[in-house]
């Protein structure tokens, strides 16, 4: 009997030890301190059957396999066995935790059900739309040969627009929408091209996308690759005699300006300047360069043209909101205005520098000359803040003309301002809208 009992003990002992291990493991796993909760209200308290750990709905299957019990660990503990092995105090704690756990999803879900907490899409939809004033366009001039239409558009990188047929079609439809026959000159800004082969590739692609525009002029950054850049396209049918000037004197290493000098019989010679003015940048790191070097160079460039008897049109992304009406949320409060003044394009220095450009160079804002009191008319909207659907933007793109061109005096010879408008209803892919201006001959 002793030998048989010893044999039975040897057979039972491993199973008993394994059973005791499973009970101890069950007690540890059922402790409330191990019930780590998921931050998601809908999955809070979801405990896995194998290791009693929380599971996220997005957890990859590979992660789940990694955390599965290994061979030899034994079967997962049965909850009834675990509960029987738990002390009374632990049972009370577990019951209290389970009660609290069951209540949590309800408490979290209640505000959402009541509409107190909106989703990202709901928050965007709930924002108030900034109204836009009506700025009706004038009918195109009867004689196209006696007019000149210019378009400027910050494309935020030209290569992306030329990458496939669909994007090229979008580019063409927006650039050509300014007038029935297409604009005479198109400026594409922030092209981010490099001089050389990349410009040649863009020239070929633009020739396919915009038929009838044979003259392509580039001014690309030599100071930094994939940065700034201006491209000018001229319509073949307008037959303008041209002289092309890249840059504005000493500030021409970033590819930010192209001047097309032209003339028509009976009209004063005209300098068309397509410009992409430097942004003051994050933390206003380039503010001193912008107002201390670039802006004065542009003023000298314009004054030089006037001194030579040439009228001037400066068109492009001038990276400043000149008037309060050019800022969607200006005037909400004094503290808000103070905060806005710390943003690029909104600083007192930049706005004052723009006013100096108008005053010293005898220029007029073409859009404001025709729509002085229009509000809610913007050309830039933050993509990050989803500003375009609710028209929360800034007017950073302009067409400026020599003051005499905006004069209503019909006796004045030369070019005259006919229309100036923002194509903000077209192409919402980027953060800028195209702007356009039409000039007519008074001869």
Domains of the chain: 13-114 (no CATH), 141-441 (3.60.10.10)
Query: How large is the greatest C-alpha to C-alpha distance in the chain, in angstroms?
Result: 133
pLDDT the model gives residue 85: 46
Greater model confidence, 364 or 118: 364
Per-residue pLDDT of 156-208, as tens digits, reads 999 999 988 899 999 999 999 998 889 999 999 999 998 888 999 999 999 99
Is residue 23's pLDDT more than 90? Answer: no
pLDDT the model gives residue 301: 96
Lowest mean pLDDT, pick from 94-98, 166-170, 187-191, 304-308: 94-98
pLDDT the model gives residue 342: 96
279 is in an annotated binding site: no
> Residues with catalytic annotation?
276, 432
pLDDT the model gives residue 441: 86
40 is in an annotated binding site: no
Select from 285, 344, 337, 347 the least CA-distant residue to 317: 344
Lowest mean pLDDT, pick from 92-96, 133-137, 338-342, 407-411: 92-96
Lowest mean pLDDT, pick from 104-113, 167-176, 350-359: 104-113
How far lies 38's CA from each of 55, 106, 109, in Å? 7, 15, 15
| 116-145 mean pLDDT | 80
Is residue 308's pLDDT more than 90? Answer: yes
101 is in an annotated binding site: no
Is residue 6's pLDDT more than 90? Answer: no
**Distance between CA atoms of residues 409 and 419, nearest Å:** 16
Greater model confidence, 341 or 43: 341
| 254-275 mean pLDDT | 90
pLDDT the model gives residue 347: 98
pLDDT the model gives residue 319: 98
pLDDT the model gives residue 125: 63
425 is in an annotated binding site: no
pLDDT the model gives residue 181: 86
Given pLDDT bands bounded at 50, 70 and 90, which one contains residue 17? low
Greater model confidence, 68 or 427: 427
| 125-144 mean pLDDT | 88
Lowest mean pLDDT, pick from 358-362, 388-392, 429-433: 429-433
Per-residue pLDDT of 240-260, as tens digits, reads 778 999 999 877 789 999 999
Given pLDDT bands bounded at 50, 70 and 90, which one contains residue 235? very high
């Amino acid at each position: 009997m002793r030998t048989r009992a010893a044999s039975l003990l040897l057979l039972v002992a491993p199973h008993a030890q394994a059973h005791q291990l499973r009970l101890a493991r069950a007690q540890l796993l059922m402790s409330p301190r191990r019930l780590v909760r998921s931050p998601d209200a809908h999955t809070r308290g979801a405990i896995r059957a194998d290791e009693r750990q929380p599971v996220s709905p997005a957890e990859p299957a590979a992660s789940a396999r990694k955390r599965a019990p290994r061979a030899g660990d034994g079967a997962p503990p049965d909850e009834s066995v675990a509960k029987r092995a738990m002390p009374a105090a632990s049972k009370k704690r577990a019951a209290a935790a389970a009660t609290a756990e069951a209540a949590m999803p309800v408490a979290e879900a209640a505000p959402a059900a009541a509409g107190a907490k909106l989703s990202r899409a709901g928050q965007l939809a709930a924002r108030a739309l900034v109204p836009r004033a009506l700025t009706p366009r004038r009918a195109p001039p009867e004689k196209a040969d006696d007019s000149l239409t210019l378009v400027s558009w910050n494309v935020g990188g030209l290569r992306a627009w030329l990458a496939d047929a669909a994007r090229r079609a979008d580019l063409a439809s927006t650039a050509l929408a300014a007038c029935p026959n297409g604009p005479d000159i198109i400026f594409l800004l922030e092209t981010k091209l490099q001089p050389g082969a990349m410009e040649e590739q863009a020239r070929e692609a633009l020739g396919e996308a915009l038929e009838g525009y044979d003259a392509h002029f580039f001014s690309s950054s030599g100071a930094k690759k994939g940065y700034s850049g201006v491209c000018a396209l001229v319509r073949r049918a307008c037959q303008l005699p041209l002289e092309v000037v890249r840059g504005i004197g000493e500030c021409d290493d970033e590819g930010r300006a192209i001047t097309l000098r032209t003339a028509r019989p009976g009209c004063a010679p005209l300098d068309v300047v397509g410009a992409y003015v430097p942004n003051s940048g994050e933390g206003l790191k380039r503010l001193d360069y912008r107002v201390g070097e670039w802006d004065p160079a542009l003023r000298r460039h314009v004054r030089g043209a006037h001194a030579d008897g040439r009228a001037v049109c400066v068109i492009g992304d001038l990276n400043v909101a000149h008037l309060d009406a050019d800022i969607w949320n200006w005037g909400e409060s004094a503290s808000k205005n103070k905060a806005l003044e710390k943003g690029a394009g909104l600083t007192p220095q930049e706005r004052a520098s723009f006013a100096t450009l108008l005053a010293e160079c005898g220029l007029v804002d073409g859009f404001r000359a025709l729509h002085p009191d229009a509000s809610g008319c913007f050309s830039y909207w933050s993509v990050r803040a989803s500003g375009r659907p609710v028209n929360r933007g800034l007017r950073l793109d302009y067409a400026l003309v020599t003051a005499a061109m905006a004069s209503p005096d019909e006796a004045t010879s030369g070019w005259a301002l006919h229309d100036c408008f923002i194509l903000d209803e077209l192409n919402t892919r980027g953060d800028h809208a195209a702007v356009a201006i039409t000039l007519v001959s008074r001869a």
